[in-house]
Structure 1
Amino acid sequence: MIIAAVGDIHSPRFLPLFLKALSEVSVKPDLFILLGDIVEKNNIEALTPVYKAVKERFEGVPLLGVFGNEEFRGFEKEYLVKYPGITWLNDELRVVGLDGLEVCVVGTRGALDKPTPWQERNIPGIRDYYMSLPERINGLLKECRRVKAHLTILASHYGVTYSNLRGEKPSVYPYLASEKMSEVIKPELVDLVLHAHAHNAVLEYTMVNNVPVYNASLPGRGRILVIDVKHRRSVLHWLSKPR
């Protein structure tokens, strides 16, 4: 099983880099995941070239997406209506059948340890939302196990640990990730975690409680992350490399 993932395209800002990176993926993935901040400043139309490029390059491949902070809250329905070919996950899960296996994907914007000053001023209740989200995500991951999915993926825009933020200023770590979210990353609940948002973080992946966590931020990686998943029940081998 091959999973492709990328976030922080900020179209049109990094669109040329994205199109180049897309052309360099030499294998057809079984699943393609967009990890938020796909557009810049809620420019809904700017998602069109990203959407068309993925659909043309990988016809028939399921395309999942989560929202980032640049896809503004309150506009989710507009994205759903304009881009129905993307399965949008907004604090929810979807089970996808891939090559005889059922993959359960939990998708979310994610949480931050500290809301940004702008969020504090403009999004009522955002601090409480960030505090309560890990428990909600924990419940969704448990639901994936209840449906006996062969593979469970957590896809978040925001980071889920500080351990892979090296390269960013430590003073901004609380605005990039949630350490509390790392508490729900357990091998009995989730097999793979993907996130974006940390543009300058130099580590591609880290292990949290023996679960691989990948930062698929386009500015940081300079490419689309391609992950080979070789699955044998309860035994996973992960390999990420340029394609």
Structure 2
Amino acid sequence: MGHEVVLLLAGGLAVFAGAVVQGGVGFGLGLVASPLIAMLEPSVVPGAVHVVNATLPLFTLAAEWRRVDWRGLGFAVLGRVPGSVLGGIVVLYVGTGTLGVLVGLMVVVAVAMTARSIAVPRNGRTLAAAGFLSGVTGTATGIGGPPMALVYQTARGPQIRATLAAFFFLSAVQSLVILAVVGRLPGRTLAAGAALVPFVVLGFAVSGPLRRYLDGGRVRAGILTVAALSACALVAQSVAR
């Protein structure tokens, strides 16, 4: 079996699983897909992941766009812009491995603290900071969900999914533009991402039962679990580079 076919099938399975998780929790596609795709074909990461990251939110928004927290989204996007620029610089000049390890450990600490005490306050400063950190890690590694998800962990499921979907769509497009500007978005990367889109559609289509389960008072536990796994995946991916 050719390498391209292995990449499509194995990467597609990871994207499918990630789409199921993100369809229920609000984030997690990068967590599942990015590390495996990076191991199979490092040259298409993070660009291919950003292509699927820009696609899945459109389905969530089509179903729950009325639940978007527009004010919070504005603060997060405001912080995301300089974070994305810094992430682009990291891709060019700084080892993403070091960045991934540091951010991953920070997320683990944040999850441990919020699981034992009160949640992170949701205000302009925390949202802008989460957007900034998400911009750095998302642009450089394809995994940018945990900071935003931790800030929104006490919101209702539909609001979390809708707001994060709007944020992730804008973020992915922004990251793709920046990667193109710095010359790190070849046509092969875009083609690889486009080939994985059908798996995104299928994953979202079967995520309905998970959404209903989490909306029954389990969404915060789901977010903390996925955030912790995201951090571990980010550390593992970064050490492997």
Under TM normalisation by the shorter chain, which class is it? under 0.3
Q: Provide TM-score, normalisation by structure 1.
A: 0.25
Which of the two has greater helix per residue? 2
Greater strand share, structure number: 1
